[in-house]
Structure 1
Amino acid sequence: MYKAVVFFDLDGTLFDNDKRVTQASIKAIAQLKANHILPVIATGRSLFEITGTLEQSGIDSCVCADGSYIQVAGRALHTEYLKTSDVKAITAYAQQDNLPVSYYNPNGFVVSHTNKLVRENYRELKETVNVDAGAYLTTKMNMLFVFTPERDKQDDVYREKFHGTFSFYRNNFRGLDVVKYGVSKRSGIENLLNHTGLADVPTYGFGDFYNDLPMFDAVKTPIAMGNAVPEMKAKAAWVTTSNLQNGIVNGLKHYNLI
């Protein structure tokens, strides 16, 4: 039986700026497991994007794609797929402004069409871009990414237009993660805890960006990275050092988890 559960965001949190887990963090995760504490990755990324990270870090449980895919001990627990008709509707809406849409499932992704933003985004993520505008018609998808660079204007427009159908999370300055309405890191974490019988053990969460805010609502002890956005720091029980200054290790030590 696990004594506690610790959830880690990846980008800006468990990852350094080269998208790698440091040796110090890998050692800390091994110590967590030795102390009967369950480490879980909670990320906006999809499963196929983090398979190497899971192997490298020794973590085999995750809440991926903003809560729409859950895995425990290497086995899929739940995937929250989107309705094809809903995906078609938001694709058509995005196309009115010639905005690209990426379509994700746990195994991979495709893009409706490319532009400079698309190329920059996936170059940064070290992912190869494949174009297939109609993939969602024959393949189930659990997450989308709509390239909406005009943040203040477009975020509110999409949330109002598709309220009750989709939930939106600002992933980066280039666009929005899109999942089924009500799905979030919080719902994914709660689902995982309930299915594993761990809902009553102490829970901790490390995060840095806006899509981590729902995670902070789901854990008993939210910990913001030193490089986190102000909203995260305001909501945190404690602010550790940055992802480049052993923030994970220092946070775990602060709470005597290692």
Structure 2
Amino acid sequence: MSKKPDAIVFFDLDGTLFNSQIDVLPSSLEAINKLKQNNITPMIATGRTPCEVVDLMKKTQIESIIGMNGQVVLYQGEKVFTNDIDKDVIERLYQFSKQQTGIPLSFYNHEIMRVSQDSEPAKKFYHFLKQQVPPVDDQIYLKTSIQMLLLLCESGEALYRDVFPELTFIRNTPYCVDVFNHGGSKGYGITKLLKNKGFTDVPTYAFGDGMNDFEMFLTVDHPIAMGNAVDELKAQAEFVTDTNNNDGIAKGLQHFGLI
């Protein structure tokens, strides 16, 4: 059984733990190491799937993650929770995309990523992330559980919201929209973690910059917005730190006396 931490700190990635060059500042790496020395658990909380950030987790020595906007929770290697999308819902959405919108999809679970077709929107999005386009398999959802879909598009997601009320659609980058079960969020994943691990009395902190961090900010004890965060998120923050390019992580942790 894992030792109960004195606190847990959740870090969004893009625009938060990552700087503008999609890298982690040396000051942030040092701060994360100090957290661990102080029996404080650092956790990634991201729209990305765990298999996308394996190298990052090794680099930062962060062992725990709220992935896919709360659709999977891994704590020190243990799978605590997954929020799978019903296969029939995925089939409906896939057919709607093929027949009505022409928007290609990505299929994600905590171990794999696949795309519905080799497309320009896929190349543009994964180039933006500095990643290779995943393999093509438009039947992957029939073979394994899927916890998140992506609409690979720069617009057009509004058409889906009325047709699929059981799903949530959140634009996460200029080139994609995250899709998962309605009610799922980073905040929901955090709640599942705290309850399932018996950590409901552990103080929680979160750093974020975008609207997919909103529910996380409503869930944790101490929400911290990056200086580059959207105004709506700053309005929900207890503290606004410096930007992701100017040691905002380290400065925020120092402000709360965590390092």
| Alignment of 1:40 onto 2:43 | yes
Runs of 4 or more consecutive aligned structure 1 residues displaced over 4 Å after TM superposition: none
Query: Paired residue for 1:98, among 98, 102, 107?
Result: 102
1:114 Cα offset (Å): 3.4
Query: Paired residue for 1:62, among 58, 61, 65?
Result: 65
1:205-234 CA-to-partner distances (Å, cap 9, x unmatched) read: 000111111111111111110111111111
Q: Which runs of 5+ in 2 are unaligned?
A: none
* Residue number in structure 2 paired with 1:121: 125
Q: Distance in 2 between matches of 1:158 and 1:239?
A: 34
Equivalent runs, 1:115-194 vs 2, <5 Å: 115-129=119-133, 130-150=135-155, 154-163=156-165, 165-194=166-195
Question: What root-mean-square deviation, in Å, do the aligned CA atoms of Structure 1 and Structure 2 show?
Answer: 1.3
Q: Distance in 2 between matches of 1:191 and 1:246?
A: 30
Percent identity between the two aligned chains: 39
Tell me, what secondary structure is at the counterpart of 2:44? strand
* Residue number in structure 1 paired with 2:199: 198
Check conservation: 2:121, 2:153, Cα contact below 8 A: no
Q: Distance in 1 between matches of 2:111 and 2:123?
A: 20
| Alignment of 1:12 onto 2:20 | no
Q: Distance in 2 between matches of 1:113 and 1:143?
A: 17
When normalised by structure 1's length, the TM-score is: 0.94
| Corresponding letter in the other structure for 2:73 | I
Q: Which runs of 5+ in 1 are unaligned?
A: none
1:115 Cα offset (Å): 3.0
Q: Distance in 1 between matches of 2:28 and 2:171?
A: 26
Q: Distance in 2 between matches of 1:234 and 1:155?
A: 26
1:115-136 CA-to-partner distances (Å, cap 9, x unmatched) read: 3322111012232222222222
1:48-83 CA-to-partner distances (Å, cap 9, x unmatched) read: 011111111111111001111100112211221111
Check conservation: 2:11, 2:45, Cα contact below 8 A: yes
